[in-house]
């Protein structure tokens, strides 16, 4: 009888232990669920941007994240490369190319949900400080021994525009003989100017901001080649409402102050 009583007590003790473990075991499950909920709440947007827009976009992305808690993941590249990535991956939420003309392919593919003009991209002819080559006008780019940096027309809007400007002047073929480098992004010609590896480059006016070692030459004809930077919501966006919120933010009056700080003028909208 005593033995049976001891056996019963032992069984009760074991059952109590099992119940206790079961109760304790529920806590990690609850924690796991909470962690999962937190992960879901942490939203992010994939934003493609022309490399020439990096300075204002970095600042705006930080402001947006501080305001909303939404993380902005940027892909900076030449506009053509961004388009290729969008077409290849069918992923992304927002796109800001250096020129609205860069949207042609993805519009034809039905990949644009909405777009609106944002700021202007103004082309300029720039030289190193002191203008050592004595360049005064566009036609001077055909002089012997002049070294020129231009964007790659297959990679970025400033490259396409440079060729268009020179072609309209009827001097593209002659200038091409003096082109020492074609760059993948809009920012790189500026680097060649700063390093004094070239005598001139066609760049965006906003590239001049903060660069005192570069001079701008007044070429009135350039005014008709001003381009518009749009902000685009992509149809492949996994977060279309958040993408629209970001697009509205970068085009807001508060954001406009940041754009102007970095040398951009607002587009008519």
Q: What is the pLDDT of residue 5?
A: 44
Phi/psi at 34 (5° precision)? -65, -40
Q: What is the pLDDT of residue 269?
A: 53
Q: Are 219 and 123 in contact (CB under 8 A)?
A: no
Q: What is the pLDDT of residue 41?
A: 62
Segments of the chain scoring below 50 in pLDDT: 1-40
Q: Are 161 and 97 in contact (CB under 8 A)?
A: no
Complete domains list, the chain, with CATH = 44-120+227-266 (3.40.190.10), 123-225 (3.40.190.10)
List, in sequence order, the alpha helices (H) in the chain: 2-41, 54-68, 79-89, 104-108, 157-168, 172-176, 188-194, 240-250, 253-261
Instruction: Please enumerate in sequence order all residues whose Cβ is within 8 A of that of 154, keeping only pairs 6 or more positions apart, or say none.
Output: 80
Instruction: Please enumerate in sequence order all residues whose Cβ is within 8 A of that of 231, keeping only pairs 6 or more positions apart, or say none.
Output: 94, 95, 96, 115, 116, 118, 247, 250, 251
Phi/psi at 149 (5° precision)? -115, 130
Tokens of 5: 């009583």
Q: Whole-prediction pTM value?
A: 0.80
Q: What is the pLDDT of residue 153?
A: 96
Q: What is the pLDDT of residue 268?
A: 75
Question: What is the spatial distance between Cα 82 and Cα 71, in angstroms, rounded to a whole number?
Answer: 19
């Amino acid at each position: 009888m005593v033995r049976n009583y001891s056996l019963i007590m032992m069984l009760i003790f074991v059952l109590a232990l099992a119940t206790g473990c079961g109760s304790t075991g529920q806590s990690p499950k609850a924690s796991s669920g909470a962690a999962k909920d937190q992960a879901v709440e942490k939203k992010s947007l994939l934003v493609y941007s022309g490399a020439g827009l990096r300075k204002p976009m970095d600042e705006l992305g930080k402001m947006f994240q501080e305001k909303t808690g939404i993380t902005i993941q940027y892909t900076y590249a030449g506009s053509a490369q961004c388009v290729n990535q969008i077409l290849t991956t069918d992923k992304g939420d927002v796109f800001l190319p250096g020129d609205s003309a860069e949207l042609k392919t993805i519009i034809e593919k039905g990949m644009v949900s909405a777009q609106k003009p944002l700021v202007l991209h103004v082309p300029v002819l720039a030289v190193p400080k002191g203008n050592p080559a004595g360049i005064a006008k566009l036609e001077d780019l055909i002089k012997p021994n002049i070294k020129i940096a231009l964007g790659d027309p297959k990679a970025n809007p400033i490259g396409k525009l440079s060729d268009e400007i020179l072609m309209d002047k009827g001097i593209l073929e002659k200038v091409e003989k003096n082109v020492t480098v074609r760059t993948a992004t809009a920012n790189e010609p500026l680097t060649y100017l700063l390093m004094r590896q070239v005598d001139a480059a066609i760049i965006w006016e906003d590239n001049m901001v903060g660069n005192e070692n570069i001079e701008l030459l007044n070429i009135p004809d350039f005014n008709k080649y001003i381009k518009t930077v749009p902000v685009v919501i992509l149809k492949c966006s996994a977060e279309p409402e958040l993408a629209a919120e970001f697009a509205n933010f970068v085009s807001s009056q508060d954001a406009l102050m940041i754009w102007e700080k970095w040398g951009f003028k607002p587009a008519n909208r």
